[in-house]
Structure 1
Amino acid sequence: MTSFWVTLARHKQTRSYKLLKQNEMDVLVPEKHEKTFIFLHGAANQAAMYHNLFLSSYSPVCQNTKILLPQAPMRYITFSQKQLKMPSWYDIYSEDRTNKRPQDLYNLSELETSVKRIQEIMKKEQSILQNKQQLYIGGISQGCALALYSGLSYQQKIGGIIALSGYYIDTCQISKENIDIPIYFSHGLDDQIVKIEYMQQTIKFLQYINPNFKIEYEAGLGHSIGQNQMQKIQKWFQQISQNQAH
């Protein structure tokens, strides 16, 4: 399996966070906690890979945001011919998504288990936040799919979703609370892992049901995170979180 690489890892750290380890999750705690962002890594990756992103000036979220980075369990992935175990939120049967049903592509039981875990984290965080809508979720690649599923099916209103280089699994039962939440969907035009042509149905569906869905294509970007991309998301996040703070 091709890994998803963060291209900002060498940038100077400009933000101050306290790092905690709890329940298979890295937590970056700011001096002042007003918002929470849950970020889900992709298959074959580690939560710790994203520390430097959120500590840099290119972080997609505001400095007063607590960052939760859950770690996926180790499991074999079918389409990789089960050569080795890797961190994964659910098994993937095939990378060819053409005209295939979700149950032919993914282990939906494992997906539901991961959704339940993430939504328990969401529930706990909302019990802490003064403004419960200041909870946000996002992810990349397989983590993007899990973030969309967890956020859209969650039964309490959240602030928004940041979806990077991923896809939507249409077995998701979207809740009335989150059917129109802000979603920023960003995808590299040179992505050879989750190809643009696979995303067209996802994008059309989300645009149809959600007036607050925003899609940005990044020229020259593959299956990775870019500086220009993060700067755009940073502005979007600041705007929606300010609107929701009142």
Structure 2
Amino acid sequence: MSNPPIEIETGPNPTATILLMHGLGADGNDFVPIANELDLSAVGPVRFVFPNAPVIPVTVNGGYRMPAWYDIMGPDLAKREDEAGLRRSQAAIEALLANEKSRGIPASRIVIAGFSQGCAMSFMTGLRHPERLAGIVGLSGYLPLADTTAAERSPANQQTPIFQAHGQRDGVVPMARAIHGRDALQALGYALEWHDYPMEHSVCMEEIADLNRFLLRVLA
């Protein structure tokens, strides 16, 4: 990763971690305001970890270098996926999860979350993680390497609650792409909570309220 993650703790000696990954071209600061909107006081002190993606050339943007968890080869997100990039970032995120465990936060008290490309990484990493996580959150994104998910998923997270949300007018990640991933995960037996909102490729207050309720439940 290009820079160390940003960390915010809601109180001393956190008992849970929420690892939240930004989207293409953004950085770890992007979702700090969202953390400030959440009220998780009922579950005790929480550590928010906001990683920074590496700066790499992005093909769909003419090779321009920007923060990206993996390359985007073209407008069709399901074709020519950057498998090597996805797996590199998965390994980097796994290292962050390992760091949280070394600081005394068990996997069962960690929520992995992300927006857009970060959503893809949340699904990519969370579904394959060898220990049960508290929850997996995917916002305005999709399921990457969908054809390998069934073979590579970890039994440990088969029952992990999943929160997936998307904008009905999303022009960056078409809603059909998100629904395809939702249906694939539900077909594999995952407990997935789906929400969609009248918004574009963004986040809305109703979504934050729904996410707050989800986090309170899985971290209770």
- The one-letter code of the counterpart of 2:47 is K
Shift of 1:195: 0.7
- The one-letter code of the counterpart of 2:87 is E
Per mean C-alpha deviation after superposition, the further-off stretch among 208-217 and 68-77 is 208-217
**Cα distance per residue 1:101-157 (max 9 Å; x no partner):** 4xx1x2211111110010111122123235440011000000100011111111111
> Structure 1 residue 147 and structure 2 residue 122: aligned?
yes
The equivalences for 1:1-246 within 5 A come to 24-32=4-12, 33-57=14-38, 64-82=45-63, 84-97=64-77, 100-101=78-79, 104=80, 106-129=81-104, 131-169=106-144, 170=146, 171-172=148-149, 173-218=152-197, 220-242=198-220
Shift of 1:201: 2.1
- The alignment's C-alpha RMSD in Å is 2.0
CA contact (8 A) 1:62 1:237 kept: no
- Give 5+ residue unaligned stretches, structure 1: 1-21
Separation in 1 of the partners of 2:38 and 2:153?
34
Q: Identity over the aligned pairs, expressed in percent?
A: 23
Shift of 1:46: 1.3
Separation in 2 of the partners of 1:76 and 1:62?
40
Cα 1:118–1:57 shift into 2, 3 Å: closer
Aligned match of 1:17: none
Shift of 1:211: 4.1
SS of 1:79's equivalent in the other structure is helix
- Give 5+ residue unaligned stretches, structure 2: none
Aligned pair count? 213
Q: Which of the two has greater helix per residue?
A: 2
CA contact (8 A) 1:181 1:210 kept: no
Cα 1:124–1:57 shift into 2, 3 Å: closer
CA contact (8 A) 2:37 2:208 kept: no
Shift of 1:95: 1.6
Separation in 2 of the partners of 1:30 and 1:152?
27
Structure with max Cα Rg: 1
